Amino acid sequence: MTAHPAGPAPSFGAFVTASAAAGRLVVQPRMGFGDPRAMRDGLARTRAATAHTAGTLTVDSYTRVGDLAGARAAVADGTRLNGYPIAAHAPATTRAVLDGLHGAGFPVQVRHGSARPEPIVRALLAAGLDATEGGPVSYCLPYGRTPLRDSVAAWVRACALLAEGARPGSTPHLESFGGCLLGQLCPPGLLVATSLLECLFFVRYGLRSVSLSYAQQTHPGQDEEALRALGRLAAEFLPADVERHVVLYTYMGVYPHTERGALRLLEDSARLAVRAGAGRLIVKTAAEAHRIPTVDENVRALETAAAAAALEEAPGPDDGADSEVYLEARALVEAVLDLHPDLARALPDAFARGLLDVPFCLHPDNPGRSLGFIDPAGRLRWARTGAMPLRPDAAADTAPLTADGLLTALWHVAGSYDGRRAPAGEPPDGPAPGGGHDHSSATPLTV
Amino acid sequence: MKILLSGTASDSHTWNLVYLRLFLEELGYEVVGLGPCVDAELLADACRRHAPDAVVLSSVNGHGYRDGLAAVRRLRAEPALAALPVVLGGKLGVAGHRQDDDVARLLDAGCDAVLGDDLAALRGFLAVRARTEVPA
C-alpha cells in the first residue's frame, strides 16, 4: 500500500516529479470501462496496488472518433464499450467515479487517441480532471485519415481549452504520444524528435506541465540512449520553468505469447525506465497478446513492474556524449523549427516537405518514403530516409522488404522473449493503434 | 492485374494493410492501397478513379460485418461497379469466430468471397480472377 495524502489540487506533473525526486517510479495501466461502476473499481484497485500508481481513464472508440451520438446511444442501450465514454456520461457521473480516489496522492490521466480532442478535453475538465495525452501528429497519423492540418488546428484549440479551463491552483498536464507513433519499427531518433516537437507545441499553446514519451523498442542500449536524449533535448529546448518528465511505454508491438516472455519484457521495461531516468511507466500485461486485460491482470502488471523498478539502481549521471539517437533527433527538431517558429505551421509543412516521414505509416499526409530495419545487433536503423535530414545506415540491406521480412521484423522482440522465431506462414498478432486504443496488439493481423 | 486494397470505415489498423500490400505485390499484382478508415463513399470513388480488377477489403477491428456490408452494398448500387470482384478478409465481429449468418448476408449483398485470415484462399481467389481476366 502506498500512502495517499488527501489534498485539494492534485497535479499530475508535480506528482511524478516529486515521486522521481524520492526515487520512486510511477507506474500506470491502460484501462477503460464503459460502465461507471467498473471504471471506479478499476481506479480503486489501481490506487490500492502495491506500487506507486497513477490512474488511467481510457475513453471508448466512438468518443475517440468524435461519434458522441454513438457513444450516448451505446450507454442508453447498455452496449459494452471498449472504454469510458467520458463525453456521454454526465460530469456528475464521472465525478462520482473519481470521488475519494482522485487526489493529490493519486492523479488520474484521461487517455483517448483522438485527432479532434476538444469534446474530450471539455468533458474531463467538467469532471474536475486536468491531465490527458496525445498530440497533433501522434494522434493523427497513426489513427486514420483526419488531415494533419485539421488535427493541428483541433489540438491548438484543445491545448487552449486545457490550459485555461482547469481549476484555479491546478497545473494542467499534457503528455505527447509522439514517442510511440505506430508502436514498432520506427528508429528512435524520429520518436524522440516527434515527442519533443509536440511538447514544444503544447507549451506554445499554453501548457506549463508536459511529459515526453518513448516506447520501448528492440535494443536496451539504444532505448536507454533514446530516453536520455529525450531528457537532454527537453532541457535544451523547453523553457526552464515548464514542468516535465519522461514516460516510458512497455513494448507496444507484437507481444510475447508465453507468460514468462511477457513478464520478462515488462520487467526489463521497468528496469530500463529507472536506469534511464524516466519518471513514469505505462505497463502492459501478459494477457495483451490475446485480449483486453482484466483489472486483476493490470494490477499484477503494475506490481510486477514496481517490484522490478525498486531493485534497479538509480540512473548514473549522463556522460554528456552525443549518442546517435540524440544527434538524429536534434537534426530533425532543428530542421522543423527552421521552417517556422510556430509549430502549428511547421509540423504540417515538415510532413509536406518530407522532413518528417514515419515508416510504415499509411496516412495520406505522411510522405511514406522512409523505412526502418533491425540491424544484426538488434538496433533499429534507417534503410531509407526519404527527404529527412538523416543518412540511411550504410549497413542497410539493399534488398527490398518482403512480406516474410516484415513478419520477421514485427516478431523480433516477441520471438526473442518467447525463445522462438515467428512461425512460418502464420500472420502475427497485429500491433494495433486505434480500434481499441490503449488495448493495442490484441487483434490478429489477418487478411 | 490491378488490386485495390483498403481498410474499412471504422478500422484504423494498418499493419494488416502493410503486410497485405507486400504479400499481393510478391504475387505479381499491381496494388493501389487506400489505407485505413475508408468509408463506402471513398471506396466507390477510388474504384471509379483507379478501375481495379479486384477489391480486397481487410478488417480486423471487430466491425468487419457491419462496415463490409455497407461497403459492398455501396459498390453494388453502382452499375459500373456491380460486377467488380470484391473479397472481404479479417474479422467480422468481436466474438473471434466465424458467423455463418453474417457471411451469408455479405455474400447475398454481392461480396464474392469472405475469407477470414486464410491467405491461401485469398491467393486462390485472385488467381482465378487473374486467369479469367480479359486481356486489355
Neighbouring CB atoms inside 10 A of A126's CB total 16
**Cβ separation of A433 and B13 shorter than 8 Å?**
yes
* Dist. CA A416–CA A418, nearest whole Å: 6
* Cα A200 to Cα A244: distance, rounded to the nearest angstrom: 11
Chain A partners of B90 at a C-beta cutoff of 8 Å?
446-447
Domains of chain B listed by start with CATH number: 38-132 (3.40.50.280)
List the CATH number of the domain containing A33. Answer: 3.20.20.240
pLDDT for the residue B96: 57
A270/A272 Cα distance (integer angstroms): 5
C-alpha cell at position B57: 477489403
Q: What is the DSSP string of A172-220?
A: -EEEE-TTTTTSSS--HHHHHHHHHHHHHHHHHTT-SEEEEEEE--S-H
Q: Using a CB-CB distance cutoff of 8 angstroms, which residues of chain B are in contact with residue A443?
A: 13, 60-62, 91
Confidence of residue A139 (pLDDT cuts 50, 70, 90): very high
Q: Is residue A416 part of a domain?
A: yes
A430 touches chain B (CB under 8 A): yes
Chain B residue nearest residue A82, CA to CA: B94
Kindly state whether B116 is in contact with chain A, defined as any CB-CB distance less than 8 angstroms.
yes
Q: Is residue A218 part of a domain?
A: yes
Task: Please give the residue of chain B at the shortest CA–CA distance from A364.
Answer: B35
Chain B within 8 Å of A378 (Cβ-Cβ)?
A: no
User: Which residues on adjacent β-strands are paired with residue A55?
Assistant: A108
Domain membership flag for residue A413 = yes
- pLDDT exceeds cutoff 50 at A441: no
The pLDDT assigned to A436 comes to 37
Q: What is the DSSP letter of A341?
A: S
Residues of chain A neighbouring B119 (CB-CB closer than 8 A): 425, 427, 447
The whole-angstrom separation of Cα A19 and Cα A49 is: 16
Cα R_g (chain A), whole angstroms: 20
Among A35-44, A203-212, A314-323, A376-385, the minimum mean pLDDT is found in A314-323
- When mean pLDDT is compared across A20-29, A252-261, A346-355, the lowest value belongs to A252-261
What are the chain A neighbours of B18 within 8 Å (beta carbons)? 360, 362, 406
Of A212, A215, A240, A226, which is closest to residue A276 (Cα–Cα)?
Answer: A226
Contact A392/A385 with Cβ under 8 angstroms?
Answer: yes
Listed in sequence order, the DSSP H helices in A276-342 are 295-310, 324-339
Asked if pLDDT for residue A437 goes beyond 70, the answer is no
Rounded to an integer, what distance in angstroms lies between the CA atom of residue A312 and that of residue A305?
A: 11
Among residues 43-82 of chain B, which lie with CB inside 8 Å of chain A?
56, 58, 60-62
If you count them, how many residues does chain B have?
136
- Assess contact for A429 and A289: CB atoms under 8 A: yes
A200 vs A343: CA distance, rounded Å: 8
pLDDT, tens only, A268-298: 999 999 999 999 999 998 787 677 789 999 9
What dihedral angle (degrees, nearest 10) is formed by the CA atoms of A287, A434, A127, A75?
Answer: -80
* Maximum distance among all Cα pairs of chain A, rounded to whole angstroms: 60
Do the Cβ atoms of B61 and A144 come within 8 Å? no
- Asked, for residue A3, whether it belongs to a domain, the answer is no
CB contact under 8 A, A406 and B35: no
* pLDDT tens profile B51-108: 999 999 998 877 788 889 999 999 999 999 999 999 999 877 666 566 788 899 999 9
As a whole number of angstroms, the distance between CA A426 and CA A428 comes to 6
Structural domain tally of chain A?
1
Mean pLDDT of A327-340: 98
Structural domain span for residue A363? 9-447
Q: How many CB pairs under 8 A join A and B?
A: 99
Q: Is A315 on the interface with B (CB under 8 A)?
A: no
The rounded distance, in Å, linking the Cα atoms of A10 and A2 is 16
Closest-CA residue of A relative to B119 is: A447
Nearest chain B Cα distance for residue A208, angstroms: 32
Question: Does any domain span residue A1?
Answer: no
pLDDT, position A9: 54
DSSP character at residue A21: H
Q: Is A403 on the interface with B (CB under 8 A)?
A: yes
Region A362-383 average pLDDT: 95
In order of A328, A391, A432, the CA distances from A323 in angstroms are 9, 15, 30
CB contact under 8 A, A447 and B116: yes
**Apex A205 CA angle, A201 and A211, nearest 5:** 55
**What is the model's pTM?**
0.91
Searching chain A, which residue's CA lies closest to the CA of residue B32? A362
pLDDT of residue B97: 62
Half-sphere exposure of B41 (CA within 13 A, CB side): 0
- Give me the residues paired with residue A243 across strands: A209
CA distance B85 to chain A (A): 16
Residue A415 CB partners (closer than 8 Å, separation 6+): A421, A422
Residue A442's pLDDT is what? 31
Q: Which three cell numbers stand for residue A262?
A: 511477457
- What are the CB-based long-range contacts (under 8 Å, 24+) for A378-385? A378/A218, A378/A219, A378/A412, A378/A416, A379/A218, A379/A219, A379/A221, A379/A222, A380/A185, A380/A186, A380/A187, A380/A188, A380/A217, A380/A218, A380/A219, A380/A222, A381/A187, A382/A187, A385/A357
Assembly ipTM: 0.89
Confidence band for A315, pLDDT divided at 50, 70 and 90: confident
Please list, in sequence order, all residues whose beta carbon lies within 8 angstroms of the beta carbon of residue A158, skipping any fewer than 6 positions away. Answer: A117, A118, A121
Calpha distance B117→A426 (Å, rounded): 10
| Closest C-alpha among A274, A272, A259, A276 to residue A417 | A259
Measured in angstroms, the CA of A363 and the nearest CA of chain B are apart by: 7
What separation in angstroms does the CA of A433 have from each of A184, A359, A403, B36? Answer: 10, 14, 20, 11
Domain assignment present for A4: no
Distance (Å) from the alpha carbon of B77 to chain A's nearest alpha carbon: 25
pLDDT at A351 over 80: yes
Choose, out of B3, B10, B11, B14, the residue to mutate when testing the contact with A (most A CBs < 10 Å).
B14
> Looking at the domain assignment, is residue A203 inside a domain?
yes
* A144 inside 8 A of chain B by CB: yes
Determine the pLDDT at residue A120: 97
Out of A425, A431, A443, the one facing B61 most closely (by C-beta) is A443
Pick the residue of A112, A362, A447 with the most B CBs within 10 A to test the interface with B by mutation: A447
pLDDT digits (tens, 9 = 90+) for A87-138: 999 999 999 999 999 998 999 999 999 999 999 999 999 999 999 999 999 9
> Which chain A residues contact residue B89 at CB under 8 A?
446-447
Mean pLDDT across chain A, nearest whole number? 90
In a domain, A2, yes or no: no
